[in-house]
Amino acid sequence: MQRTTIIDALSSTELDRLINVRGWVRSRRGNKQISFIALNDGSTIKNIQIVADLSKFSEEQLKPVTTGSCISATGMLVKSEGAGQSVEIQLTELEVYGTANPEQYPLQKKGLSMEYLRTLAHLRPRTNTFGAVFRIRHHMAMAIHSYFHQHGYFYFHTPLITESDCEGAGQMFQVTTKDLYRLKKDEQGKIDYSDDFFGKQTALTVSGQLEGELGALALGKIYTFGPTFRAENSNTPRHLAEFWMIEPEVAFIDKKELMDIEEDFIKYCVRWALDNCKDDLEFLNQYVDKGLIQRLESVVDTEFVRLPYTEGINILQEAIRNGKKFEFPCNWGDDLSSEHERYLVEEHFRRPVIMTDYPKEIKAFYMKINEDNKTVQGTDVLFPQIGEIIGGSVREESLDKLNAEIERRQMDTTNLWWYLDTRRFGSAPHAGFGLGFERLMLFVTGMQNIRDVIPFPRTPKNAEF
């Protein structure tokens, strides 16, 4: 018999018919006459109740039906008299696909800690919380493609293996086929990459932006959506070594238009979650973060603050004068840390902030320099609970200014010639940003740790599964 998914079974109005469902047993309880099985197949957070009449099924037959086991159940879909569900299945045929020994199955108990569940990343998608998170993750990916497709952007695929360090922060994972035990070096002791796989030194990309800009300067509006890698040794609840980034890049827009897109895009994604992930959000709102749905609704309805960095520093220093204590300093020129960002967003303005015009020293080489020659047209979006969720900027389109900046930073341009060519031939004003997919996921799910919104997190000293 063909399988019906539990989400379809639960919403079915066609009752008193035979159906077949398959899934993992969440629990079984009952008495000498009757046994109730709660079954989940991942299609929804909700379980379906299967009722086994013990005059038709022996205790022996039901014995392998324990928490975690996988079964196929056929029976009549009927109206349920019990509380908490509208329909249930009266079991007529049972097949056990896989047992789960109750002495050994690790997801037996409720209320396991997030830390412990991380050691069970192979099984945790079967819990309510992670089922909800990963379904929402899918929906957010759909929201992102839908937004850009509707707005005339093209999905542009940038390489994962590259020789350029877009952010210039030196946080790249090298890619090599060289025998590390027998490295060939030149007279100066430098490694000779000429006989390496690509004939040069390569690494995993930290951002698809530089190649994305090439796309925008031909197709007008593009976006990337793929994995990015950072070998930064930060053990925080907001950093991964492998994370997914969405990077739109748009020709012919200025800073104001860039900020409009950032705000519109994020609101669209949050609205999408509210519209498409209701059951999962309600679950998370109840068990993970009581303020979640209200926070999501408030972001959709409020205008983001637009705040130049210099004004932000003034606000923070005023706060310090009034007794506020921060761990890190925040004088003009300092990179803000997440405590500063969160103070501005959560305590001072109480809504998302787009911070602009940062000191050029704390930003990457490609950002458009303002007339003051001190600040650049960066446009980061700062969010409650998260801090920086988007990093964006207008790009420097003048070849002369870009070259001067590259020289000032003493950057090696031998592998950036193609990037500079876009400024040489038909250069155009353009801008773009990068949204950290897992940071968006943190916000939308209310989860506290970035390791818990990606199925298999990669962090320092951890690449299991």
Applying CB under 6 A, the residues found at the interface with ligand 4AD are 166-167, 207, 209, 230, 232, 239-240, 243, 245, 247, 388-393, 432-434, 436, 438-439
Q: Does 212 bind Mg ion (CB under 5 A)?
A: no
In angstroms, give the least distance from the CB of 260 to ligand 4AD: 16
Binding partner selected for residue 230 from ligand 4AD, Mg ion, none, CB under the kind-specific 5 to 8 Å limit: ligand 4AD
Choice between 207 and 445, CB closer to ligand 4AD: 207
Choice between 68 and 436, CB closer to Mg ion: 436
Residues with Cβ within 8 Å of 345's Cβ and at least 6 positions away in sequence, in order, are 351, 352, 353, 382, 383, 384, 387
Binding partner selected for residue 166 from ligand 4AD, Mg ion, none, CB under the kind-specific 5 to 8 Å limit: ligand 4AD
Residues with Cβ within 8 Å of 66's Cβ and at least 6 positions away in sequence, in order, are 25, 28, 99, 100, 101, 102, 105
In angstroms, give the least distance from the CB of 244 to ligand 4AD: 8
Choice between 237 and 329, CB closer to ligand 4AD: 237
Give dist(CA 17, CA 51) in Å, integer.
15
How far are the Cα atoms of 221, 226, 364, 390 from residue 247, in angstroms, in the given order?
A: 11, 9, 16, 10
Using only the alpha carbons of the chain, give its radius of gyration: 27
Choice between 23 and 215, CB closer to ligand 4AD: 215
Q: Does 434 bind Mg ion (CB under 5 A)?
A: no
Binding partner selected for residue 240 from Mg ion, ligand 4AD, none, CB under the kind-specific 5 to 8 Å limit: ligand 4AD
Choice between 35 and 209, CB closer to ligand 4AD: 209
Q: Which residue has the CB atom at the shortest distance from Mg ion?
A: 391
In angstroms, give the least distance from the CB of 15 to ligand 4AD: 47
Q: What are phi and psi of 155, to 5 degrees?
A: -75, 115
- Contact indicator for 305, 352 with CB cutoff of 8 Å: yes
CB atoms within 10 A of CB 14: 7
Count of alpha carbons within 13 angstroms of residue 86, beta-carbon side: 10
Residues with Cβ within 8 Å of 372's Cβ and at least 6 positions away in sequence, in order, are none
Choice between 19 and 143, CB closer to ligand 4AD: 143
Choice between 193 and 437, CB closer to ligand 4AD: 437
In angstroms, give the least distance from the CB of 361 to ligand 4AD: 16
Binding partner selected for residue 279 from Mg ion, ligand 4AD, none, CB under the kind-specific 5 to 8 Å limit: none
Q: What are phi and psi of 6, to 5 degrees?
A: -65, -35
In angstroms, give the least distance from the CB of 335 to Mg ion: 9
- Contact indicator for 94, 73 with CB cutoff of 8 Å: yes
In angstroms, give the least distance from the CB of 81 to ligand 4AD: 49
Binding residue for Mg ion, selected from 391, 436, 446, 457, defined by CB under 5 A: 391
Hey, which bits of 12-79 come out as E strands?
A: 17-30, 34-40, 48-53, 70-79
- Contact indicator for 219, 152 with CB cutoff of 8 Å: no
In angstroms, give the least distance from the CB of 247 to ligand 4AD: 4
Number of residues that bind Mg ion (CB under 5 A): 1
> How wide is the angle at C-alpha 157 spanned by C-alphas 153 and 159, nearest 5°?
145
In angstroms, give the least distance from the CB of 188 to ligand 4AD: 32
Choice between 168 and 226, CB closer to Mg ion: 168
Binding residues for Mg ion, rule: CB under 5 A, are 391
